[in-house]
Structure 1
Amino acid sequence: MATLSNSNIQEFSDRKEEFLDEKADIERSDVVLEEEEENSCIEAVRAVVPITDDPSLPVMTFRFWVLSTLFSIIGAMINQYYYFRTTSGTFSIYFVNLATYGMGVAMARTLPTGSISVFGYSMSMNSGPFNIKEHCLMGIAVSTASTYAYAIDILAATDLNLKYRIPTLGSLILILTTQCLGYGMAGMLRKFLVYPAQMVWWANLVQVVFYNAMHNTDEFKSKRMIRGWSYMKFFWVICGCMFIYEFLPQWLAPMFVFMDWICWIKPFDFDFWALFSSFSGSGIMSISLDWNSIGGSTMWLPLATQVCLYGGMVLSYWIILPILWLNNIMGAKTLGAPLTPSLFYSNGTKFQVTNFMNSDHTLNEGEYNAGPPATMTPMYALNFFWSFVSLAGCVTHIAFFHGRDILDSWKASVGSSTEDIHTKKMRVYPEMPQSWYAIFYVIMVALSIFTCYEYDLQLPWWGFLIACVLGWVMTLPVCALVAITGYGPGLNVITELICGYMLPGRPIANMVFKTYGYMVMGQCQNLLQDLKLGHYMKIPPRAMFVAQFWGTIVGGLFNYMTMILIINSHRDILDGTETDPTGLWTGNSPATFWGSALIFGALGPKRMFSSEGNYGFVFYGFVLGAIIPIILWALSKKFPNVQWGKFNIALVASGMSFFPYGLTQSVLVCIITFMISQFYLHRYHKNWWNKYIFILSAALDTGAAFTGLVVFLFLGGGVSPTLSVAVPSWWANYYTPEGNNAPYLFTDRCGAFNGSWTSGTL
């Protein structure tokens, strides 16, 4: 018998090791393939959202409570501060993410590991390395707090216009209930609007990439950008370049924001001004070189969504408006600017509803009926028409094209074998009981009714319940549309009209009904989007509940405190009694909210939209919006090879009513941007698109936001009027020593400053 030599034994051993290694590699490959097969059915989600999770990472840490509270206070105060300023500003969530990352890492390195107790709850001051989950949860809490409470409009309007301040307790309950009703709804609807894979919530994908890039997670370590850069190096280089560039349009050369180049041919022609000025007209073929006018969302929102939106804008503002204007249909030229929400008499004189008000802020019908009726510009009337088309179209489009998918995906999200991989990963965490959200919602309803009666807000209990029903009916289709397409209509117009018919002559009730009906859906949408972000980042549901509620409480409290401080110190300026010598403070926002309440609550939609009047046609928008999706759905059954569902009348109509007050400078550049990104790059360079587009979008938006903050605080007088720095007059920042743009109307070099038109008038 042959014996094995040492060399044979060694060779056999080496081959055995190779075999075992190959077997291990095959097993690992099988696991990867199995996970890939289970990955999301949405291509963009597969590209950027990791399917791994580490349930051991601590979330509700001491660092979370400290940093989320600090930045929630700052965000709430800054956004409320901007509410009363002439120049707008934003509290960028990317700034919050960057700042909390640096501070979180520093706290992890320096804090002791001892424990502290708060209300009997003990936690470690330093729970280890700063991790991605607690970081994301901080951002969610801060984003909840940094959205200024819509109820502030009611409080500021009554305080400044009626000289009546709702007591502090009633004000705080009003803020709390308007914010938290949507919160309760979000919790109860999450199985429909969060768990299914089809509910993408597109804006969250940018955040997912941003958090993973900052924390250099395993999935992102192997990804290298141009020149071998890491994701964060690429982010900082692009962000820095945009930060420097944005000083040009935001400060040095404001004409670059409104480059109405066709208007320069005949700048003092009335027709050219109306059709080519982007400040208050159609802005046909106008160009904006300001990234704030474009926005990163144009780079990643679905192509079909943007084609519908911008197609609607082109149809409405580049085609319909010129036809109405040049033919003076419905007195378009007589009423002055093509895009304005103001009311007029038929001869073009401005109508002031306050001239016909009684002391209790109801309409004096005798005085009003004795004179000529109020009228509105054709485009403003069409804005209502298109809003109704959008709302009805949203409901029927979702019902016919996505209803079965939503139902099937909901069934799949609650335990079937085909459920989304991210939903399956979340099953390791204790769920937030549905009953908790339901009880929370009932408590908020009771508090809301108590507030309406106790503080005389003119809204009866049955009116409030109708507002709640409206919110429930519209939230599912609208939020589903936003989750699937990235965009959806609001309820502000329909709520004003319903209350105007239901409770005529009650402007305060109109404001309250609008806030509960519109904001409940709006707040629910924001919270659902955050819940989806937590879903992608694998944050425990109960931690999400606490973080969102904490952000709501802190944000509402400091919104209110900031409002009171500003009104107390600048009341005469904000209510119009005096003119602000610095030009920095304004009460336009609460004045606009109050004016809308007077028009719909006091004057009433019955007068404006009667069947005998000029604007009775607006209600046919409901019929048009309801019918078109049904026709398209029927065509999809007859001709299944054509993607009829991509044509969304709700989005087209939203685009057609996108600029009711002007500022149309972004249409052309947005079309160019999304065609390059979503058509060319996504179709022909998909790997490049998957790798770069979301982090590129975040970097560009962050750089532009940082520039706006620096300009506002240190160059525009935000911190102190003494820090206001005026740029010398030059061709891209033209102004006279008197502080105007004479002989032009505005920086866009279009329109006659003194109204002396050379041609184009009637």
Structure 2
Amino acid sequence: MSLDYEEKSEFHDEKTLDEKAQAETLELSEEGAAENSRIEAVRLVVPITDDVTLVAVTFRFWTISFLFAMIGAVVQQYYFYRAAAGSFSIFFVNLASYGIGKAMARVLPTASFTIGGYSMSLNPGPFNIKEHALIGIAAGTAASAAYAIDILSATDIYLDYRINALGSLLLIITTQCVGYGMAGVLRRYLVYPAEMVWWGNLVQVVFYNAMHHTGEFSSKKMVRGWSYMKFFWVVCGGMFLWEFLPQWLAPILMYFDWFCWISPFNYNFWAIASSMSSGGGFLSISFDWTSIGGGTLYYPLSAQLCSYFGQILNYWILLPIMWLTNALGTKTIGRPLTSRLFYENGTSFDIKTVLLDDFSVNNTAYDNGPQANMSPLYAIGFMTSFIALAGCVSHIFFFHGTEIWNTWKQAIGNDHEDIHTKMMKVYPEVPQLWYAIFYVIMAALSVLVCEVYKLQLPWWALLLALLIGWVLTLPICAMTAITGFGPGLNVITELVCGYMLPGKPIANMVFKCYGYMAMYQCMNLLGDLKLGHYMKIPPRAMFVAQFWGTLIGGVFNYITMILIIDSQRDVFNGNKEDPSGLWTGQRVETYWGSGLIYGALGPARMFALDGKYGFVYLGFLIGFIVPGIQWLLSKKYPTIQWSKFNISILAGGMGMFPNGYVNGITGGLITCVVFQYYLFKYHKNWWKKYVMILAAALDTGAAFTGLVIFLFLGGGISSTMNVNVPSWWANHYTEDGTNAPYAGVNRCGAYGGKWESGKP
């Protein structure tokens, strides 16, 4: 490989240039092999080799990562407003970037160019696995719907207030980047230890090595003698074709609510069994893979079972009981699952009638008028959020506190390190100063955004939001790294701000965004750093790639948001029904609803201890106490794995709505039991050989279908390319744009509020 020294020294330590480090591959000795990762799944799939001569930051990286970061940001923002909880598959990026990278390696000249003293070759040699993985990391960082989009969408849709482009972009970029400094400090605790697995990375490790035919992946054969990649393409192609049915031609397969077909026009059956928008989805089955996801094949079984048990408890047991008994007025509101506010008689609450010109609440007008009420199940969702957060902190303290303490001791001199951490020492770390400077710059820009634009949030409140993120990030990210599941900070941040700045809904949304995103983005960055750890990518290259992807993603998130809101505004604000059931403003509505509850009206008013919803604060007590009881029981009955029951994950499952729909419970539960219990326990060799590449293929095929539909059938490229499927039994709609006589394509519920039976 022909490389200039300047290109190498940017991300490699000088000690990599000696003869020993220039060896083609770093192999573990027999003694090193014996100390392979303590985590079985990691031992099974992550190679313990490294080629230190490979360079990741190349001209190909910059060009290819920009292309897919742009596409990923657009597609993910598109899914943000869609009913199907799809995503832009990183495996699609891996496939496409592999082909483009190999082609560029064949046709580009080897000439070099220099920018500011930094020299780079247009074609440094064969397209390698490290630059390939780094492209995926940059694109994956961009492929998200920035949380600040919730603020911009809510103010635009519900308050007719659109922040200008500069202010919007600064809000997006700063909220996305404040987690960088935190990731730099916490990486030694949440990346280096073997116990911090970050499960979603394992499938990517297998996929990259299979594509580049490294080590054992070059010789392993699958069913019928196929190679890894042939197996991938066959499965991916099959899923790609299948997904046109639930995602486009036959959305009834996405919401296959067979139970309510027993009595489709019965009000009670609709509320309990419909999964399309507001029902509990009792025994509903979704044949859409995006509702199930590849993570069900490899995430820890105990964590998945806790999550699904929580979902079943809330939506299949508690919801029917509350609906049929009209507990707390559940049936009076008319929709069991909704984040909207209502008056006592069940009509929608209009916040505009009590807002002042600066969007703060006129308390006198509100107190003298009818009061706002929320769906009881939505209130329970707040309680489960408190359980999840308190349970996370308590569970980590009782069951993993010793491990974290030992990790801290290792970080200050103990040499008992994970083998992958030892192998990464050949590369120079990112100085803490880089992260510190970056954090200070982003915090300063955040203050600027809040002060210049009408966001209602004073500078001191913003700093408090960032502080909350610092305090709670360690336990939340630790649980996510260990189990694959973790709570968010969105509810606790809006609660704090609600008491601190009552009557200011925009301030509450902004406070929540900065407090939550400080943790969430830090978590994403740490997960990517772990992937770089497994792939042996130099840390400084990782730093560059992550910021590059974040910057591109923010810009194209904003552009996509503007285009979609302008075309679907009436659907999002409730003035028009979407006959296909595929466009939804549910996520924005949820964010705005929380802003009203905590910001405009305030928790002191909505969650008064002597009021209707005062029970939500019991969540903190439950979350703190349950793990302590489990820990005590583990001391008395040590043969039982008490830590496997995680109250935080269970509560997170209970609070799945309104963050997602409830149509994937049955399929996901069946899938995880088959793959993570039966196959992993009784056919471990099969699991090791097939599961990761199978998950990658299924996710890629489903995501690629969504991309094709968006670009070529849903008007993504041009509105003239918006193709409507003719009405038929699996995609029924009427010419007037309604879906009469049904409420939705799932055939569950009467249209226009007319019921044959069960009407309250």
How far did 1:89 drift? Answer: 5.8
Counterpart Cα distance in 2 of 1:34 and 1:373: 70
| 1:626 alignment counterpart | 624
Task: Rate the CA distance shift 1:214–1:410 in 2: closer, same or farther, 3 A.
Answer: farther
Residues in 2 aligned to 1:298 and 1:461: alpha-carbon distance in whole angstroms: 42
* TM-fit CA distance, 1:637: 1.0
CA contact (8 A) 1:136 1:211 kept: yes
Range 39-48 or range 266-275, more displaced: 266-275
2:184 is aligned with 1:187: yes
Q: Aligned to 1:446, what secondary structure does the other structure show?
A: helix
1:91 Cα deviation after fit: 2.8
Q: Please tell me whether residue 49 in structure 1 is matched to residue 46 in structure 2.
A: yes
SS at match of 2:333: coil
Q: Select the residue among 215, 230, 252 that pairs with 2:227.
A: 230
3-state secondary structure, aligned to 1:123: strand
Shift of 1:197: 0.4
Q: 1:192 and 1:660 mapped to 2: Cα distance?
A: 32
Residue 383 to residue 631, structure 1, CA distance change in 2 (3 Å): same
Could you tell me how far apart the structure 2 residues matched to 1:324 and 1:663 are? 19
Q: Aligned pair in 2 of structure 1 residues 217, 253: CA closer, same or farther (>3 Å)?
A: same
Larger displacement relative to structure 2 (491-500 or 722-731) = 722-731
* AA at the equivalent of 1:112: P
Deviates more, 1:603-612 or 1:629-638: 603-612
Aligned AA for 2:645? F
CA drift at 1:250: 1.8
Aligned to 1:741: 739
Kindly state the Cα deviation for residue 84 of structure 1 after the two structures are TM-superposed: 6.0
Once the two structures are TM-superposed, the CA of residue 730 in structure 1 deviates from its matched residue by 3.2
Pair 1:266–1:397, CA change in 2 (3 A): same
Q: 2:725 aligns with which of 727, 734, 741?
A: 727
Give, in angstroms, the shift of residue 82 of structure 1. Answer: 5.2
Identify which of 109, 113, 128 aligns with 1:112.
109
CA distance in 2: counterparts of 1:580 and 1:343, whole angstroms: 19
Paired with 1:46 and 1:396, the residues of 2 have a C-alpha distance of: 29
Deviations 1:447-496 (A, max 9, x none): 32233223353222221121011101111111111100001111222222
Structure 1 gap segments, 5+ residues each: 1-29
What TM-score, normalized to structure 2?
Answer: 0.91
* 1:253 is the counterpart of 2:250: yes
Q: CA deviation at 1:346?
A: 2.2
1:581-600 pair list within 5 angstroms: 593-600=591-598
Determine the structure 2 residue equivalent to 1:692.
Answer: 690
Offset, 1:196: 0.5
For residues 582 and 660 of structure 1, the distance between their equivalents in structure 2, rounded to whole angstroms, comes to: 21
* Structure 1 counterpart of 2:137: 140
Name which of structure 1's ranges 434-443 and 376-385 shifts more when overlaid on structure 2: 434-443
Moved more, 676-685 or 505-514: 505-514
* Equivalent residue, structure 2, for 1:317: 315
Q: 1:309 to 1:607 in 2, by over 3 A?
A: same
Q: Deviations over 1:581-620 (max 9, x none)?
A: 9999887765654453233221212111011211111011
Q: Per the alignment, in what secondary structure is the counterpart of residue 332 of structure 2?
A: coil
Task: Give 2:289's aligned amino acid.
Answer: W
Specify whether residues 198 and 736 from structure 1 end up closer, same or farther in structure 2 by C-alpha distance, changes over 3 A only. Answer: same
Q: Following TM superposition, by how much is the alpha carbon of 1:73 offset from its aligned partner in structure 2, in angstroms?
A: 2.7
Alignment of 1:534-683 (within 5 A): 534-563=532-561, 593-660=591-658, 663-683=661-681
Paired with 2:686 and 2:417, the residues of 1 have a C-alpha distance of 29
Q: Percent identity?
A: 63
Q: Given that residues 582 and 721 in structure 1 are in contact (C-alpha distance below 8 angstroms), is that contact kept between their aligned partners in structure 2?
A: no
CA 206–653 in structure 1, closer or farther in 2 if over 3 Å, else same: same
Query: How far, CA to CA, are the matches of 2:89 and 2:290 in structure 1?
Result: 12
CA contact (8 A) 1:340 1:661 kept: no
| Equivalence map 1:26-175=2 (5 Å) | 33-80=30-77, 83=80, 90-158=87-155, 165-166=162-163, 168-175=165-172
Map of 1:264 onto structure 2 = 261
Which secondary structure does the structure 2 equivalent of 1:332 belong to? helix
Question: Given the two structures, how large is their TM-score scaled by the length of structure 1?
Answer: 0.91
Q: Which residue of 1 aligns with 2:271?
A: 274
Shift of 1:126: 1.1
SS at match of 1:117: strand
Q: Distance in 1 between matches of 2:266 and 2:670?
A: 28
What residue is the counterpart of 2:4 in the other structure? Answer: none
Contact preservation (8 Å) 2:586, 2:658: no
Aligned partners of 2:68 and 2:139 also within 8 Å: yes
Q: 1:14-33, aligned counterparts within 5 Å?
A: 33=30
Higher mean C-alpha displacement, 139-148 vs 375-384: 139-148
**CA deviation string 1:354-409 (max 9, x = no partner):** 22222222222222222332212221111111110110000000011001112223
Q: Which residue of 1 aligns with 2:511?
A: 513
Cα displacement (A) at 1:171: 3.7
Alpha-carbon RMSD across the aligned residues, in angstroms, is 2.6
Unaligned runs of at least 5 residues, structure 2: 1-26
Letter in 1 for 2:718: S
Give the deviation of 1:204 after TM superposition.
Answer: 0.5
Relative distance call for 1:340 and 1:421 in structure 2 (3 A) is same
Identify the range of structure 1 (254-263 vs 77-86) with the bigger mean alpha-carbon deviation: 77-86
Matched ranges for 1:421-570 at <5 A? 421-563=419-561
What one-letter code is carried by the residue in structure 2 that aligns with 1:344? F
Amino acid at match of 2:706: G
**Per the alignment, in what secondary structure is the counterpart of residue 408 of structure 1?**
helix
CA distance in 2, matches of 1:122, 1:728: 56
- Describe the superposition over 1:15-35 as per-residue Cα deviations: whole angstroms up to 9, x where unpaired: xxxxxxxxxxxxxxx966433
> CA separation in 1, counterparts of 2:132 and 2:138?
10
Answer whether contact 1:210 1:695 (CA < 8 A) is retained. yes
CA distances 1:155-210 after superposition (whole Å, capped 9, x unpaired): 44445555555455444433332122111111111001100000000000111111
In the TM superposition, residue 562 of structure 1 has moved relative to its aligned partner by: 4.8
Match of 1:285 among 283, 286, 294: 283
Moved more, 198-207 or 165-174: 165-174
Change (3 A) 1:431 1:618: same
SS of 2:485's equivalent in the other structure is coil
Corresponding residue for 1:334?
332
Moved more, 359-368 or 86-95: 86-95
Distance 1:87 1:218, change over 3 A: closer
Deviation, structure 1 residue 714: 2.3
CA contact (8 A) 1:339 1:661 kept: no
Deviation digits for residues 105-130 of structure 1, max 9, x if unmatched? Answer: 11111111111111221111111110
Counterparts of 2:660 and 2:100, CA distance in 1 = 41
Which has the larger displacement, 346-355 or 102-111? Answer: 346-355
Aligned partner letter, 2:94: N
Contact preservation (8 Å) 1:338, 1:377:
yes
2:706 and 2:716 mapped to 1: Cα distance? Answer: 11
Distance in 2 (CA, whole Å) between partners of 1:413 and 1:106 is 43
2:481 match: secondary structure: helix
- One-letter amino acid matched to 2:362: N
Q: CA deviation at 1:575?
A: 8.8
Aligned equivalent of 1:379: 377
How many residues align structurally?
733
1:237 Cα deviation after fit: 0.6
